[in-house]
Amino acid sequence: MSGSSSAEYVLGTNPRELDRLGFQHRVWANAAFSLWDRAGLVRGAKVLDVGCGPGFGSFDLAQIVGVEGLVVGVDESEPFIEHARGQARSRGMDHAHFGVGDVARLGEVVEGMGLGGVGFDLAYCRWVMCFVRDPRAVLESIRGVLGEGGVLCVQDYLGYVSMGFAPDVPSFAPIVRALGEAIRSFGGDPDVMRMLPNLAAEVGFEVSFLDRIQTPAARPGSLMWSWPATFWDVFLPRLVELGGVREAEYRDFMRDWAEISRNPSAIMHLPPVYEMIARVQ
């Protein structure tokens, strides 16, 4: 693992995280598709899914580009890549390939897969930059494997710790603080989108689109309300283990979370997700 990556994916690779990533992909799939479409994704394209996890986005991309295209997913978490490879086999998707490796060394990883010199048309990177130690190195690495006119699509957080509730849930304050600190302590940045457009320009991309993704308001009972809930299930017990949150703080919040989830007039302010399209200059 290089200096750009965390020691271990902070959320782990267990079946619950795999299930959470699948649900998360479904809830955010429309936003992903809109961005790919805006970036000019076409059938036959050669696409790189940077930090693909178990490949939920990769398989949508593989269906879009079709067998005349190519999708390559790269992730440092071996269990996720094993899962993706199994899926590719069982779906008979011979044009979807998956490799274990650091997204700051994509050139080496695709070379090792026998796909050096492909010159990708599009690279997609969702919720990965917030976990890496050196986003500039990752942008440079992506630029190095894109072909002429290749395009990078990123979706990631800006202002993660602005997450909260109306009416206020005071027991959430220590939790959201600890979430931000945990991401930073593993080398990531929960505000990474603040720096990415400038960094992209510095490493030779032309940023052509930048916006905040509009999502439906998260109201109790909605899918958007369940999105962070699946995250609490996976990560809050881990935060208690790691000492970032005290057992009593966790218990208080889970009690208040159950209560606000029964309040039909409640709203949750979700962590804002921004998106960027940047083209190789």
Ligand X SMILES: C[S@@+](CC[C@H](N)C(=O)[O-])C[C@H]1O[C@@H](n2cnc3c(N)ncnc32)[C@H](O)[C@@H]1O
Binding site for ligand X (CB under 6 A): 4-6, 9, 21, 25, 51-53, 56-57, 75-77, 80, 102-104, 126-128, 131-132
Q: What angle do CA 167, 274, 144 make, to 5 degrees?
A: 155
Min separation Cβ 233 and ligand X, Å: 15
| Closest CA relative to residue 109, chosen from 133, 75, 143 | 75
Of 102 and 249, the one with the shorter C-beta distance to ligand X is 102
Residues pairing with 74 in the sheet: 50, 99
Min separation Cβ 21 and ligand X, Å: 5
Min separation Cβ 100 and ligand X, Å: 8
Of 56 and 257, the one with the shorter C-beta distance to ligand X is 56
- For 149, the enclosing helix (H) or strand (E) is strand 146-157
Min separation Cβ 264 and ligand X, Å: 30
Min separation Cβ 148 and ligand X, Å: 25
Of 104 and 199, the one with the shorter C-beta distance to ligand X is 104
| Burial of 114 (C-beta count, 10 Å sphere; 0-12/13-18/19+) | exposed
Of 106 and 169, the one with the shorter C-beta distance to ligand X is 106
CA-based Rg of the chain, rounded to a whole angstrom? 19
Of 104 and 260, the one with the shorter C-beta distance to ligand X is 104
Give the integer Cα–Cα distance in Å for 125 and 154: 5
Of 93 and 169, the one with the shorter C-beta distance to ligand X is 93
Min separation Cβ 36 and ligand X, Å: 13
Residues pairing with 164 in the sheet: 269
Give the integer Cα–Cα distance in Å for 116 and 260: 52
CA atoms within 13 A on the CB side of 58: 30
Largest CA distance in the chain: 55
